[in-house]
């Protein structure tokens, strides 16, 4: 999900790298909720999965650690439960 312009200043300058690490190194390219694989067809919705980085334990974009974030598979429209 793109960063909204009004929130851009709240994200660290290396956000792209942090987001990549969470999605593809820590989570191995799979949704941490349902296991759907990035770029593949979602097993429930049939839509192409696009992983995003969610603020799970601390919803502030400026939260300092990758541990505060999770990876969720999103497709358009977002599947129920992910």
Q: Please give the C-alpha separations between residue 12 and each of 34, 43, 52, 60, 79, in angstroms, as whole numbers.
A: 28, 34, 16, 11, 28
- Cβ closest to Zn ion, residue 54 vs residue 82: 82
Q: Give the phi and the psi of residue 58 in degrees, each rounded to 5.
A: -145, 110
Among 22, 27, 31, 51, binds Zn ion (CB under 5 A): 31
| Contact window for Zn ion (CB under 5 A) among 5-13, 17-25, 52-60, 72-80 | 72-80
Among 30, 53, 69, 73, binds Zn ion (CB under 5 A): 73
| Contact window for Zn ion (CB under 5 A) among 5-13, 19-27, 35-43, 60-68 | 35-43
């Amino acid at each position: 999900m793109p960063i909204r312009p009004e929130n851009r200043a709240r994200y660290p300058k290396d956000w792209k790298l942090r987001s990549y690490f969470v999605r593809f190194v820590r989570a191995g390219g799979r949704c941490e909720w349902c296991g759907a694989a990035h770029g593949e067809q979602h097993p429930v919705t049939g839509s192409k999965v696009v992983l995003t980085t969610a603020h799970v334990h601390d919803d502030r974009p400026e939260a300092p650690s990758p541990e505060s974030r999770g990876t969720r598979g999103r497709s358009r429209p977002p599947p129920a439960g992910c």
